């Protein structure tokens, strides 16, 4: 499977966020970072980190070790997307979590991605290929799902892995289009809070 499910990183980030009194979750953070990376944000700049802090509803900058963890996740995600080797993985909870928790995390990952991608004026409206526009529409639909109102069948549980793989491939498609069209340092970051 193409998720960071076999590593303890999801739980590590959950713990870090709990220490920071943030209402965000690791999946949402990773989605935001992936969206910002698609826009060409580089870790040298401060705008991407400020955007993440706003989305996370953190009033103060996290402790240095927590910031280092976010930078590490940013670096890993950036390298995975830059490599085009198929190594890009979504940061999602593993099978020890209930299906409802995993599905909700996937939706939150997609919401974070849309926030990160929508961080600059007009970028969503300026996607040029139909394949990329359709990929983004699908990610938005997943982000908008209300899992509290959905009755989950065994078929839905089986389809989950396919949806994760679809989102992964869709993000790589969007990265391929947007990263080549963005400047080194985006001029302004606008944040859409949840």
Would you kindly state where each structural domain of the chain is located, as residue ranges? 4-181
**Is there a contact between 47 and 41 (Cβ–Cβ < 8 Å)?**
yes
- DSSP annotation of 89: -
Q: Which of 105, 70, 69, 75 is nearest to 90 (CA)?
A: 105
Percent of the chain's residues with pLDDT above 90? 20
Both tokens of 72, joined, read 């590490």
The mean-pLDDT minimum among 8-22, 42-56, 97-111 falls in 42-56
The pLDDT tens digits for 106-150 are 999 999 999 888 755 566 777 888 888 899 999 999 999 877 676
182 has pLDDT over 60: no
The pLDDT tens digits for 17-51 are 777 666 778 898 899 889 988 887 765 555 666 76
**Is there a contact between 140 and 114 (Cβ–Cβ < 8 Å)?**
yes
**Is there a contact between 52 and 36 (Cβ–Cβ < 8 Å)?**
yes
Write down the pLDDT at residue 62.
64
**Cβ atoms within 10 Å of 44's Cβ, excluding its own:** 8
Beta bridge partners of 3: 90
- Is the domain spanning 4-181 CATH 1.20.120.740? The answer is yes
Contacts of 110 (CB under 8 A, 6+ apart): 31, 139, 140, 142, 143, 167
Query: pLDDT band at residue 9, thresholds of 50, 70 and 90?
Result: confident
What value does the mean pLDDT take over residues 3-16?
A: 67
Query: pLDDT band at residue 165, thresholds of 50, 70 and 90?
Result: very high
Compute φ and ψ for 86, nearest 5 degrees: 85, 10
Give the residue with greater pLDDT, 178 vs 167: 167
Contacts of 112 (CB under 8 A, 6+ apart): 24, 27, 28, 29, 30, 31, 32, 33, 34, 35, 55
Beta bridge partners of 90: 3
Give the residue with greater pLDDT, 3 vs 20: 20
Average pLDDT of every residue of the chain: 77
């Amino acid at each position: 499977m193409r998720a960071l499910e076999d590593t303890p990183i999801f739980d590590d980030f959950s713990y870090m966020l709990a220490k920071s009194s943030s209402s965000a979750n690791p999946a949402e953070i990773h989605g935001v970072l992936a969206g910002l990376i698609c826009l060409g944000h580089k870790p040298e700049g401060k705008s991407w980190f400020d955007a993440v802090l706003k989305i996370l509803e953190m009033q103060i900058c996290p402790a240095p070790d927590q910031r280092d963890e976010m930078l590490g996740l940013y670096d890993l995600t950036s390298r995975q997307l830059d490599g085009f080797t198929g190594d890009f993985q979504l940061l999602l909870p593993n099978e020890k979590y209930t299906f409802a928790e995993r599905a909700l995390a996937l939706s939150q990952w997609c919401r974070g991605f849309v926030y990160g991608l929508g961080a600059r004026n007009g970028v969503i409206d300026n996607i040029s290929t139909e394949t990329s526009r359709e990929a983004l529409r699908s990610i938005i639909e997943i982000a908008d799902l209300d899992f509290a109102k959905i009755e989950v069948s065994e078929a839905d549980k089986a389809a989950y892995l396919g949806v994760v793989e679809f989102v992964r491939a869709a993000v790589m498609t969007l990265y391929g289009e947007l990263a080549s069209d963005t400047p080194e340092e985006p001029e302004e970051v606008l944040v859409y809070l949840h």
